[in-house]
């Protein structure tokens, strides 16, 4: 009998699986259509701030790297942002992100179109995962699409993840999938191979590039573990899930080992404590869950309390209104049925409001997780058989009361009308349909339509990039002119966000200055680069900001005192200087530099001599003032992304040669001359150096092979091998 029941359950699952994936595809297509409407309304909706200064230029470099058959661990086009793997946010080890980049960059798209394609692809997958998660919780097809819409189109995902901080979207895309896989691993009705379900999605989540989402995953796993232990009273019930999650972390080992290594001693590790109090969700902003135009003071990036429209809290009206109504009128039943989900919802909401710690900052980044849990709770409420009067009247009353409070307390802000009118009208439509149609086939589709329209009206009425700048970067940035690709530049410019944003400079900018990491588009070599981690020693030496600007006082000092032939810039290999038009400084001495270009953005200076070689032999260095070194003959230099090769010949005698490499230093460089291992040191953490014994000659190879990469790759390979064997065994057992 048990066998027959098991066969019936398995048969039902096999029958439902194709329909579930068809529904997931439908959810993704609805989100795709929604994004097309956003693009129709504003073609630049996905093209803002970090996407312009950082994400897209780096991804162009990643596409260039793969086209040359090179692994994009490092980038030769920025010193500050030289370690792409250590930056984490670029998804260096994510198969999905790299595949998307390779595919999208095959098409002749403009910058905004590339950004839109990348974000929409992830929103599609996010919606599909949320749908499957909801379906496995026995929600109807319509309500599962409702969950997918809230999870993928909520205010935080659209206003921050999909249009600015791509790493947040790249990682959160896989949280519903990881949740779905984890719950399947906890299901005792499945086979003993069920631990395989969460592993690939945990891997994709971790390598997606957002530490906050990794914390979300850990909170989710802890919550699921406690829930399972309480319900089953058996520690063995959670072992398949924990083993699967561990496999996923093993597969992603290079990614998290990289950021742990690069954080040590980085500028991010020393961030100001004030950052932990920025962008907390204030309790006074919570009515924004009903009316996103609700405007109260938030603490912004500069630690100032400024009026802010709560677009991040937008969840499509229905989810929040229905949940609040059910909590008011059916609180006991709600707690009985959803006690575990309510605990998780409360924990995540509190995390949104609490200050952060360590390298983390801006707690409102928990909001996507909050929206996902809220959507699931609201869908469960909608599937309950509530009284028609409660289900229809309460949401409309809540919307009207919130609108009244908005007017009474003067929190309407600048974008309340016509949005309030539209949302009240949608609440009225929901009211009429709840009374008129009690057939679930029709009734469950109404929240889907209302949510779709409410979110669309929100983003049509409220700008999605209200708190971040946008720059007018033209396609000409793909061309190196007026700069020289053979030279290494230091660009000195004022705060980019205030100086070159569209509101202050509507004309195309960046062709001369290349702010942030925009030098990567044209393959130009720059000291500057966009980096939240700022792990490179040069980032600390020049006191660079996240957006790539160097400290103005440091810039003035370097150009006046360290730009000579024996100065620090020469040691680094800097043979090009760019000074913004807003700054009245120039490199000294004038005999060393000549101005080659002057544009409306700034002036370009080149050393009068030929560009520096990437590998040079120095006879003395201030770190070792009492030593003299022989001059080595260097030829056939091959300077590639992750390694440097050159033929070296050191004269006989009692003096060794000291070689300097014009590239940023990171822990993990290895050097070899023929079969002889060499010790790699650094000049004050700025660039690598290697000492060659007297009389030695041969082919020198300097390669970047840090311990985290070697050990991480080994762990990932072992976990992948274990997964393949398990999958084959499970398939064989099934047959």
Report the percentage of the chain scoring pLDDT > 70: 96
Both tokens assigned to 581: 């038009």
pLDDT at residue 261, rounded to an integer = 93
Separation between Cα atoms, residue 105 and residue 65, nearest integer Å: 12
pLDDT at 3: 39
| Mean pLDDT value across the chain | 92
Give the lowest-confidence range in 438-447, 513-522, 599-608, 644-653: 438-447
pLDDT at residue 1 in the model: 34
- Span of 2-11, 307-316, 604-613 with lowest mean pLDDT: 2-11
Lowest average pLDDT, out of 81-85, 234-238, 326-330, 399-403, goes to: 326-330
Q: Positive or negative, the Cα torsion across 476, 480, 482, 488?
A: positive
Would you state the pLDDT for residue 18? 78
Ranking 8-22, 23-37, 89-103, 325-339 by mean pLDDT, the lowest is 8-22
Predicted pLDDT at 466: 73
Helix axes 141-153, 367-383, angle to 10 degrees: 160
Lowest-pLDDT range of 257-271, 376-390, 443-457, 647-661: 376-390
Confidence of residue 443 (pLDDT cuts 50, 70, 90): confident
**And the tokens for 262?**
């690069």
- Per-residue pLDDT tens over the stretch 684-709: 999 999 999 999 999 999 999 999 99
pTM of the model: 0.95
User: What sign does the CA torsion over 526, 528, 532, 537 have?
Assistant: positive
Residue-level pLDDT at 8? 42
Tens-place pLDDT, residues 240-254: 999 999 999 999 999
The two structure tokens encoding residue 504:
């202050």
DSSP classification of residue 630: B
179 pLDDT more than 90: yes
Q: How far apart are CA 556 and CA 598, in angstroms?
A: 19
Please state the rounded mean pLDDT for residues 386-397: 69
Supply the pLDDT for residue 434.
Answer: 75
What angle is formed at CA 549 by the lines to CA 543 and CA 550, rounded to 5 degrees? 35
Residue 665 has pLDDT above 70, yes or no: yes
CA 293 to each of CA 310, 404, 421: distance values in angstroms, whole numbers, following the listed order: 6, 13, 12
Count of beta carbons in the 10 Å neighbourhood of residue 70: 15
Distance CA 723, CA 141 (A): 32
pLDDT at 593: 96
DSSP state of 627: -
pLDDT of 329 reads 85
Q: What is the DSSP letter of 667?
A: T
Nearest in space to 713 (alpha carbons), one of 92, 61, 55: 92
| pLDDT reading at 219 higher than 60 | yes
Residue entry with tokens 């004022």: 494
Other Cβ atoms closer than 10 A to 591: 9
Contact 255, 92 (CB under 8 A): yes
Average pLDDT, integer, range 221-244: 95
Q: Is the pLDDT of residue 467 over 70?
A: yes
Over range 516-541, report the average pLDDT.
94
Closest residue by Cα to residue 163 from 54, 55, 51: 51
For residues 352-367, give the mean pLDDT. 91
Model confidence at 386, in pLDDT bands (50, 70, 90)?
Answer: low
Of all residues in the chain, what percent carry a pLDDT higher than 90?
82
Please say whether the beta carbons of 579 and 560 come within 8 A: no
Strands across the sheet with 669-673, in order?
633-639, 643-649, 697-704, 669-673, 676-678
Mean pLDDT of 155-159: 97
pLDDT digits (tens, 9 = 90+) for 45-99: 999 999 999 999 999 999 999 999 999 999 999 999 999 999 999 999 999 999 9
Res 387: pLDDT: 59
**Residue 437: its pLDDT value, please?**
65
pLDDT score recorded for residue 15: 40
């Amino acid at each position: 009998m048990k066998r027959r029941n098991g066969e019936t359950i398995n048969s039902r699952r096999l029958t439902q699986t194709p329909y579930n994936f068809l529904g997931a595809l439908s959810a993704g297509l609805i989100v795709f259509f929604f994004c097309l409407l956003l693009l129709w309304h504003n073609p630049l909706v996905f093209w803002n701030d970090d996407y312009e200064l950082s994400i897209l230029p780096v991804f162009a470099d990643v596409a260039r790297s793969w086209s040359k058959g090179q692994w994009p661990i490092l980038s030769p086009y920025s010193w500050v942002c030289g370690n792409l793997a250590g930056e984490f946010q670029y998804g260096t080890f994510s198969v999905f992100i790299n595949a998307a980049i390779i595919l999208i960059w095959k098409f002749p798209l403009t910058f905004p179109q590339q950004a839109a394609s990348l974000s929409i692809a992830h929103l599609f997958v996010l919606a599909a995962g949320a749908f499957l998660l909801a379906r496995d919780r026995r929600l109807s097809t319509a309500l599962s699409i409702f969950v997918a819409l809230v999870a993928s189109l909520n205010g935080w995902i659209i206003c921050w993840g999909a249009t600015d901080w791509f790493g947040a979207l790249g990682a959160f895309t896989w949280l519903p999938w990881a949740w779905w896989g984890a719950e399947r691993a906890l299901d005792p009705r499945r086979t003993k191979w069920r631990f395989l379900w969460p592993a690939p999605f945990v891997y994709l989540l971790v390598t997606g590039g957002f530490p906050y989402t990794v914390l979300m995953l850990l909170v989710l796993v802890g919550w699921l573990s406690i829930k399972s232990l309480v319900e089953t009273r058996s520690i063995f019930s959670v072992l398949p899930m924990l083993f699967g999650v561990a496999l996923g972390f093993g597969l992603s080992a290079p990614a998290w080992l990289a950021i742990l290594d690069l954080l040590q001693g980085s500028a991010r590790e020393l961030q100001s404590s004030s950052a932990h109090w920025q962008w907390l969700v204030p309790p006074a902003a919570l009515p924004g869950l009903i009316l996103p135009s609700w405007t109260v003071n938030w603490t912004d990036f500069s630690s100032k309390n400024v009026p802010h429209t709560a677009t991040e809290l937008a969840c499509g009206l229905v989810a929040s209104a229905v949940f609040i109504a059910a909590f008011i009128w059916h609180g006991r039943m709600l707690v009985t049925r959803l006690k575990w989900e309510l605990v998780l919802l409360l924990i995540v909401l509190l995390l949104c409001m609490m200050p952060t710690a360590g390298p983390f900052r801006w707690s409102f980044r928990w909001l996507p997780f909050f929206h996902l849990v809220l959507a699931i709770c609201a869908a469960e409420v909608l599937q309950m058989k509530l009284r028609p009067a409660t289900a229809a009247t309460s949401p409309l009353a809540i919307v009207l009361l919130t609108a009244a409070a908005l007017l009474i307390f003067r929190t309407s802000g600048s974008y309340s009308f016509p949005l309030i009118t539209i949302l009240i009208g949608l609440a009225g439509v929901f009211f009429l349909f709840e009374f008129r149609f009690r057939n679930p086939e029709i009734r469950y589709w109404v929240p889907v339509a209302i949510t779709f329209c409410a979110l669309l009206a929100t983003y049509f009425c409220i700008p999605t990039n209200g708190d971040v700048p946008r720059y007018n970067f033209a396609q000409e940035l793909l061309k190196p002119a007026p700069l020289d690709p053979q030279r290494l530049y230091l660009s000195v410019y004022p705060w980019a966000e205030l100086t070159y944003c569209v509101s202050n400079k509507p004309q195309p900018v960046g062709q001369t200055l290349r702010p942030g990491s925009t030098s990567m588009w044209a393959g130009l070599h720059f000291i500057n680069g966009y980096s939240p981690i700022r792990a490179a020693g040069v980032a600390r030496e020049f006191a660079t900001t996240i957006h790539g600007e160097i400290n103005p006082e440091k810039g003035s000092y370097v150009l006046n005192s360290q730009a000579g032939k024996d100065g620090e810039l020469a040691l680094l290999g800097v043979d090009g200087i760019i000074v913004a038009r807003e700054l009245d400084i120039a490199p000294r001495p004038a005999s060393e530099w000549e101005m080659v270009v002057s544009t409306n953005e700034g002036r370009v200076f080149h050393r009068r001599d030929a560009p520096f070689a990437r590998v040079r032999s120095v006879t003395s260095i201030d770190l070792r003032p009492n030593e003299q070194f022989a001059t080595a003959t260097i030829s056939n230099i091959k300077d590639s992304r992750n390694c440097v090769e050159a033929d070296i010949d050191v004269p006989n005698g009692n003096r060794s040669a000291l070689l300097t490499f014009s590239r940023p230093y990171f822990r993990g460089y290895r050097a070899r001359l023929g079969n002889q291992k060499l010790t790699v040191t650094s000049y004050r953490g700025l660039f690598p150096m290697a000492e060659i014994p007297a009389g030695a000659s041969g082919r020198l190879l300097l390669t970047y092979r840090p311990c985290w990469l070697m050990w991480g790759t080994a762990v990932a390979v072992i976990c992948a091998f274990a997964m393949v064997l398990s999958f084959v065994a499970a398939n064989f057992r099934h047959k």
